[in-house]
Structure 1
Amino acid sequence: MRSMYSKLARGLMSAAVGAALCGVAQAKDVTIAFEGGYAPWNLTLPGGKLGGFEPELAENLCARAQLKCNFVAQDWDGMIPGLQAGKFDVLMDAISITPEREKILALSKPYASTPATFAVTDTKILPKASAATPPLTLANDDKSNVPAVQVLRTALKGKTIGIQSGTVYTRFINENFKDVASIRVYKTSPQRDLDLANGRIDASFDDVTYYAANADKKDATPTVTAGPLIGGPIWGPGEGLAFRKQDAALKAKFDAAITAAIADGTVKKLSEKWFKTDVTPAH
């Protein structure tokens, strides 16, 4: 997919890989781009530094791969063009691994896997999510998903749904709800959240970890997650790093680092710190 934006273009920071990189004289400089405004996956801290689950994990992965990494913030809609133009070498922004994206990008093995859900201000539209709400597992096949999403289509008929542009969730909402609801697309998730809080849209759709993190903020918008958690093959195997197709060697280094970070519990530790739950993907 994804706090309000600061001047992200100035959000440069070197990865703090510390002593682990000492003596690596020939290490390649690698630039990793994050959105910098999709807490808790990644966020811009006071002073312009990048923090969150992904920057902390990236520091660990770069140390394991013996790479000197620089972090830069980039608006979501400029990420793929910037990668292809050589502005950065890696994208890390909760990017779901999908067949469509694999046509133009080289994607790493997943480092996280999370479901998505709706959020509303009026629980008459959709009931507030609870532990008793059964999850909805969807296939990567729109036709076979129709019966499963019909209850949601009925509930949201005539409503306006907000979604961030260019995410894996955008396609899902468009293909399953555009014939029964109005779809409003936003450049950023915070812009969408503001419209939801102010009643300009009826529901939003995003990753559950995004909603969980923002619900804990004192200035959070008065919204609640609603309906079932939606997961399964429809989102692909999880979230991965994105590379240019020709950078197979760089991808291989990060794949090995991700494997090691999952094996020794680093991914679990960082996800529990930032998400309060374990988002380690199944392997």
Structure 2
Amino acid sequence: MKISRIAAIASVLFGLVQAAAAQETPKAITIATEGAYAPWNFTTADGKLDGFEVDLANDLCGRMKIECKIVAQDWDGMIPALTVGKFDVIMASMFITEKRLKIIDFTQPYAVDPSGFAVAKDSELGKVGISNERFKLENEASAQAAIDKLKPLLKGKIIGVQAATANLEFVKKYFSDVAEIREYKTTEQHDLDLAAGRIDALFAQQTALAATLGKPEFSDYTLAGPGFVGGLFGLGSGAGIRKEDIKLKDMLDGAIDAAIADGTIKTLSLKWLKSDVTPVK
């Protein structure tokens, strides 16, 4: 009986210590990125992490005046590794979705980038070409109308998409009745299959697809159709953190606010993504 009481008291004290720690200003943090989603984040030939989110992470850490270490983490283990304390923050073009918010918390979005298709130029969808239209999935009627126009153009095709992503959820929900959906652990893998002709289309963020199509081996491919945001894609890309790290969230939100206000996010996104993905306040 006494042992159980001691255990209960110890548990309460541990919880109080954890809660207090969550309110303290961290002196150093570890940020994880995938290192395989160019130009958002990637690994250079000499093994260094680089890209839009690596530059942004370093900028945010400078604003917060804390020491940061940036590490690579496989996409499919990203959230579990965060929750067990392997690192403190995720910056890996991770969409802020209701499903993920049940497990972890996020900062405000630091980028909003539509997702869309890349296909061969001589395909039915490729001949339609890229559209500047952006459809919010919350506006169900207009978004569904746009999707219905795409379906016959993708009928019988194989669509490549990264596993465990909102992009996968989207193509499964709206195109699995007309096309085969093929999942890949990384975007680099589905890029290789597109170049080899083993799949007919890719679905991913348009800036990432544009970077892929800029390579010589993809000269016969193009972005095609409109872009999609909201709904399954959530609020945009944000930094993932543990729910209890309240002080860290406040610090990151403040740093992101400052980076939006002074144009840093615009500058970095134009540098790396060739497009301004700054969230609209």
**What is the Cα deviation at residue 197 of structure 1?**
1.7
Alignment of 1:241-260 (within 5 A): 241-260=239-258
**Are residue 65 (structure 1) and residue 41 (structure 2) matched?**
no
Aligned to 1:139: 137
- Give the letter for the 2:89 counterpart: V
Q: Secondary structure at the match of 2:178?
A: coil
Distance 1:219 1:122 in 2: 13
Aligned to 1:231: 229
Contact 1:128/1:224 (8 A) holds in 2: no
Distance 1:105 1:141 in 2: 27
Aligned to 1:36: 35
Contact 2:114/2:134 (8 A) holds in 1: no
Task: Evaluate the alpha carbon distance shift between residue 117 and residue 29 of structure 1 in structure 2; reply closer, same or farther with a 3 A threshold.
Answer: same
Q: Secondary structure at the match of 1:101?
A: helix
Distance 1:91 1:146 in 2: 32
- Give the letter for the 1:154 counterpart: P
Aligned to 1:108: 107
Distance 2:257 2:39 in 1: 22
Alignment of 1:194-205 (within 5 A): 194-205=192-203
Give the structure-1-normalised TM-score. Answer: 0.84
Q: Secondary structure at the match of 2:223?
A: strand
Contact 2:121/2:220 (8 A) holds in 1: no
**Are residue 180 (structure 1) and residue 178 (structure 2) matched?**
yes
Which range is displaced more, 45-54 or 166-175? 45-54
Distance 2:54 2:217 in 1: 24
- Give the letter for the 1:160 counterpart: I
Contact 1:97/1:238 (8 A) holds in 2: yes
- Give the letter for the 1:121 counterpart: A
Aligned to 2:270: 272
Distance 1:150 1:105 in 2: 34
Contact 2:135/2:142 (8 A) holds in 1: no
Give the structure-2-normalised TM-score. Answer: 0.85
Deviations 1:160-189 (A, max 9, x none): 111100111111000001112111100011
**What is the Cα deviation at residue 233 of structure 1?**
4.8
Deviations 1:254-282 (A, max 9, x none): 00000001111111111111112211110
Task: Evaluate the alpha carbon distance shift between residue 218 and residue 155 of structure 1 in structure 2; reply closer, same or farther with a 3 A threshold.
Answer: closer
Task: Evaluate the alpha carbon distance shift between residue 123 and residue 136 of structure 1 in structure 2; reply closer, same or farther with a 3 A threshold.
Answer: farther
Task: Evaluate the alpha carbon distance shift between residue 106 and residue 269 of structure 1 in structure 2; reply closer, same or farther with a 3 A threshold.
Answer: same
**What is the Cα deviation at residue 144 of structure 1?**
7.2
Distance 2:100 2:26 in 1: 29
Higher helix fraction (1 or 2): 2
Alignment of 1:2-41 (within 5 A): 28-41=27-40
CA RMSD of aligned residues (A): 2.0
Deviations 1:128-179 (A, max 9, x none): 5656x35141323768743331111121112111110011111100000111
**Are residue 169 (structure 1) and residue 164 (structure 2) matched?**
no
Contact 1:89/1:244 (8 A) holds in 2: yes
Report how many residues are paired: 257
Contact 2:82/2:90 (8 A) holds in 1: yes
- Give the letter for the 2:74 counterpart: D
- The structure that has the greater radius of gyration is 2
Contact 1:89/1:243 (8 A) holds in 2: yes
Task: Evaluate the alpha carbon distance shift between residue 277 and residue 221 of structure 1 in structure 2; reply closer, same or farther with a 3 A threshold.
Answer: same
Distance 2:118 2:124 in 1: 10
Q: Secondary structure at the match of 2:122?
A: coil
Distance 2:80 2:230 in 1: 29
Contact 1:36/1:50 (8 A) holds in 2: yes
Q: Secondary structure at the match of 1:274?
A: helix
Deviations 1:99-154 (A, max 9, x none): 111111111101111111101125323035656x3514132376874333111112
